[in-house]
Amino acid sequence: MNSKTFSLRKEDAREQRKWFIIDAKDQILGKVAVRAANLLRGKGKAVFTPHVDCGDFVVVINADKVKVSGKKEVQKSYMSFSGYVGGHRSETLKARRARHPELIVERAIRGMIPHNRLGRSIFTKLKVYKGVEHPHAAQKPEPVSI
């Protein structure tokens, strides 16, 4: 019996990357974010290695039609601070959906991946679009159900 621990190398992970597409239309925001984060991280693979970027590329379409439950549409707020005096900005989910709906999905997924250099490199493989159109048809992304 072979009892050695397998650890994937960064070079080998690049060769195994696939493309997936998630349609967020009428889907709950949290469920879309969990599914996308797990694909980005590579958690479903048998060769998952926590300290290596072994995940796949994820395209999320219809980000403007994602659903939230309860009163989150008017009660949930997004805060940012520039670092300057008076630089506090706050907006509700409804206002952000009207201004830039891709940011809603991106922020939810960003919170579910590691907050370090590895997480920043993983996040570059996420592509979010507010409509059905996307420029990644040549990669032949596989549809993912939620």
State the virtual CA torsion across 24, 106, 40, 54 in degrees, nearest 10: 160
pLDDT digits (tens, 9 = 90+) for 20-65: 999 999 999 999 999 999 999 999 998 899 999 999 999 999 999 9
Q: For residue 5, what pLDDT is reported?
A: 84
Task: Find out whether 66 and 24 touch, Cβ atoms under 8 Å.
Answer: yes
Give domain limits for the chain.
16-67+101-133
Q: Which residues does 129 contact at the CB level (< 8 Å), separation at least 6?
A: 59, 60, 61, 62, 63, 102
Token pair 């994820």 in the structure block, residue: 58
Q: CA nearest 93: which of 85, 82, 103? A: 103
Q: Which class is 16-67+101-133 in CATH? A: alpha beta
Q: CA nearest 146: which of 16, 38, 17, 43? A: 38
Helix axes 29-41, 102-110, angle to 10 degrees: 60
Q: Residue 30: what residue type?
A: G
pLDDT digits (tens, 9 = 90+) for 98-126: 999 999 999 999 999 999 999 999 999 99
pLDDT digits (tens, 9 = 90+) for 60-85: 999 999 999 999 999 999 999 999 99
